Structure 1
Amino acid sequence: MAGILDNFRCPTCECECIELGDKRNMVASIVAGGLFFTGWWIVIDAAATNGATEMPHAVHACGAVASLAFFMVNAVSNGQVRGDSYTDGCLGQLGARIWMLFAFLLAFGALIASMWILFGLYVVNTTMLSPYPGVAVFLQNAFIFFATLTFKFGRTEELWD
């Protein structure tokens, strides 16, 4: 049961205009960087236009945790997780998989916490003036999460190989 998806391959697109070939890693990196930048730009705009009473400083913790998860996920190569290129070191392949699990748990936790902030502080609570800061915090974490997935799974080979 452990190797049930080992030989599974996603179907490829037959369209000539989408084939990136050698440029796939570069495009994935640029798209992920753009998503990461957009997420932080949105929350910086919300923090600049709203005061501390409308947007408490504690809501920025989700973005920091999501950014940490972004760097943790991308610090481990796909070969290390598969066990192709990493056999020595602290726990080997098992250590790389535990690191990835913990990083994705942080990413999902930050996304869920941003939804909790959006609905708990800004949608249900009617004392806040505008729901825009809550939407901004959620969008920031969603963009960082999608940047993490794009950068990790959008590449075909490792950038440093």
Structure 2
Amino acid sequence: FFTGWWIIIDAAVKYPKVEDFNHSYHACGVIATIAFLMINAVSNGQVRGDSYSEGCLGQTGARIWLFIGFMMAFGSLIASMWILFGGYVVKEKPVVYPGIAVFFQNAFIFFGGLVFKFGRTEDLWQ
């Protein structure tokens, strides 16, 4: 997660001109970060229905929340690929690093979210 933001900060500092790096591309990283938080806000027990039965829609609400988070994460990853190829590679710009930085930022945030969600065990807390 941190590495992704570090890469995009490096690209923004190195290429401050809008002609080289359009700063509206930061929106992909912000959406990926929100998706990262949404995905990891719901525990696996809540999705399975083991530990959460009341509240706003119960287990179904947790699954909808997780689904929206994954859709935002995949959407930002796909958008970062579009920015890389559509904005830098196909147009044959002399500077390609900002497009690569946007893609790697979103890839690191996405895979960091997956590792944090599915790479941990929740049995230790029960």
TM-score range, shorter chain: over 0.9
Whether the 8 Å CA contact 1:65–1:107 is kept in 2: the answer is: yes
Q: What is the rounded CA distance, in whole Å, between the counterparts of 1:158 and 1:48 in structure 2?
A: 43
RMSD of aligned C-alpha atoms?
A: 1.3
TM norm structure 1: 0.75
Q: Select 1:103's aligned residue among 64, 69, 74.
A: 69
Larger helix proportion of the pair: 2
Equivalent positions of 1:26-105 (< 5 A) are 36-51=1-16, 52-105=18-71
Report the count of equivalent residues.
125
Q: What is the rounded CA distance, in whole Å, between the counterparts of 2:51 and 2:84 in structure 1?
A: 42
Structure 2: give runs of 5+ residues left out of the alignment: none
- 1:129 Cα deviation (Å)? 2.3
Residues 44-92 of structure 1: per-residue CA shift (max 9 Å, x gap): 0001000222110111110000000000001111110000000000000
Whether the 8 Å CA contact 1:77–1:158 is kept in 2: the answer is: no
Residue matched to 2:85: 119
One-letter amino acid of the counterpart of residue 81, structure 1: V
- 1:156 Cα deviation (Å)? 1.0
Residues 86-145 of structure 1: per-residue CA shift (max 9 Å, x gap): 00000000000000000000000000000000000000012x321100000000000000
Q: Does 1:140 align with 2:100?
A: no
| Identity across the alignment (%) | 66
Q: What is the rounded CA distance, in whole Å, between the counterparts of 2:9 and 2:123 in structure 1?
A: 32
TM norm structure 2: 0.95
Residue matched to 2:118: 153
CA shift in 2, pair 1:159/1:122, >3 Å: farther
Residue matched to 1:12: none
CA shift in 2, pair 1:116/1:158, >3 Å: farther
